[in-house]
Every structure is written in structure tokens, then in C-alpha cells.
Amino acid sequence: MKIKKVLNNNAALASDENGNEIIYTGCGICFQKRPGDELDESKIEKTFVMEKANEQFLKLVSEMPYEEIQVADEIIKYASENLGKRLCNNIYITLTDHLGFAIERSKSGTFLKNKLLWEIKNYYKVEYNLGCHALEIIKDKLGVELPEDEAGFFALHIVNAELDGNIHHTMEAPEIIDDIISIVKYTYKKDLDEDSFSYERFITHLKYFLQRAERNAYYEPQDPGIFEIIMERFPEAYNCATRIKSYMESKYPEKLTDEEMLYLTVHIARITDRD
């Protein structure tokens, strides 16, 4: 396999037999190598398959210390294994880039304040715990101690990769979820059991609900008869869902469908069950 481009001593760009551009990393894999030279496959530690060369990622790999690339990969691999799902490839750019800047800022004692930390800890608990583990990996492998705020930022990158969404929308989502929860609490004049299974399912539903809102891809109406039954059975929950509908339509251009209202109503009825 011939080297197409030397990124640095530890990374090379090459093409496989299908024409896919692949970044190969490994300690000293390109030491004293030039484009056209054979790649020492025994030194390959990690491969990044790309449909086409992503200039931003190529730049990251060529400029960032190899140890930081390895740490970013370990964080992503750990998150993927613990979530039991494959994460969007874009996380290799966003999380790796964020890691590099976080470490640079730490050298001057400059840290970003995460204004969404409370919401992230409460609405993305699994991802937040993965973010905390990321801090442990960074401290163990790089000797850099980052603040808790960074665990929240790493969590958002993981959430974004789970949903294959836009990072800016992902950063807005915790506040929107918080607003929706506040609407429920205000409507029912009660606190919610945040440790209950129903609450956890509602938060999960809201994550994907916001993803559909972002993509203008709400659930299509199915059986209007079922919607009528749910409205009659849970009038207070439906009233609450109507308030959420008004709120969402002030945020997103698409109108909520009856199918979305049905699911919201059922979830609200469950988390506010007075029995």
C-alpha cells in the first residue's frame, strides 16, 4: 500500500483497492517516509475510513500531538461501546478538535464555563457520565486535569454523534427540554419524580422529538381514532401537550402532528400519574 500524503511522523493518507481514502495512524508510521513510499502495515494502530478526504480532519491529524489523537479515539470507542451503538463519524472531528482546544486552554489556566451543565447532568445522564470518564482518561493518559464543565461539553459531542445532528441544535436542546419540563410542572403544579422509569423514558422521547423537530420530520398521523381516545382519556395531559405544542411552534417552523401530540400526551400522563 503506497502513501498518498504524509500528514506527520505518525499519520498517513492512503487509498485502498476501492478508492476509499483512509487515514492510517501509528507511532512513527511515516518516519522518513515520502508520498509514493510503501506503508509499513505492521505499524498501523488505527484507521479512519473516509468517503472523501475531509480537510478539517486531515488538518487535525497533521497538527495535533499523536497522544491526543489516541486519547480522543479511546474516548469515542469507550462511549460507543457503553452506549451499544455506532456513533456518527463526525465525532472524530468535533470531539478531537474540542479536546485539542481544551488542552491548549488548560496550559494558560483558561477554562470555558458550561452554562448548560445542570441541564446536561439531568437530561443526558448517561452521556454526562461518559463525559466524566473522558476526563479520567485525559488525566490518566495526558496528565491534564480538566474541570467538570468539560465533561458536559464532551457529553454534548456524544449526544450529537448519537443523533447525527447539528452541534448548535444539540447545544440548544437541553434548554428546550428544561422549558418543556417546566411547562409540565407548571400545568400540574407539582414536581416530577426524576428517578422514575417514566421520567427517564420521557426525557429519551424528548431527545428524539427535538431531533425530528430540527429535521422537520415529525411522526405522520396514523389512526385518528386512537388520538381521539387518548384525548378523552387524558384530558389534563392533552391540555399540557397543547401548551408544549404552542411552545414548540414558536421555536420551529413545522406544526406538530396529531401523532406527536398523542405520544406527548401519553408520556405526560405517565410521569404525572397521581396514583
Biggest CA-to-CA distance, the chain? 75
Comparison of pLDDT for 222 and 232, the residue scoring more: 232
Place of cell 448548535: 168
The answer on pLDDT for 165 being more than 80 is no
pLDDT recorded at residue 40: 86
Work out the angle at residue 45's Cα, subtended by the Cα atoms of residues 41 and 51, and round it to the nearest 5 degrees.
85
d(CA 24, CA 62): 11
pLDDT recorded at residue 50: 62
CATH topology of domain 3-54: Transcription Regulation, Sacy; Chain A (2.30.24)
Q: Which residues contact 120 (CB under 8 A, 6 or more apart)?
A: 114, 127, 128, 131, 152, 155, 156, 174
d(CA 156, CA 248): 21
Domain 181-271, CATH 1.10.1790.10 — does that match?
yes
CATH code of 66-164, in short, is: 1.10.1790.10
pLDDT recorded at residue 51: 56
How long, in residues, is the chain?
275
132-154: average pLDDT: 97
CATH 2.30.24.10 residue window(s) in the chain: 3-54
- Contacts of the segment 134-138: beta carbons below 8 A, 24+ positions apart: 134/75, 134/78, 134/79, 137/71, 137/74, 137/75, 137/78, 138/71, 138/75, 138/99, 138/103
The answer on pLDDT for 17 being more than 90 is no
pLDDT recorded at residue 45: 85
- In this prediction the pTM is 0.77
pLDDT recorded at residue 7: 85
Rg (CA), the chain: 23
CATH 1.10.1790.10 residue window(s) in the chain: 66-164, 181-271
Contact 33, 22 (CB under 8 A): no
Of 26-30, 177-181, 249-253, where does mean pLDDT reach its minimum? 26-30
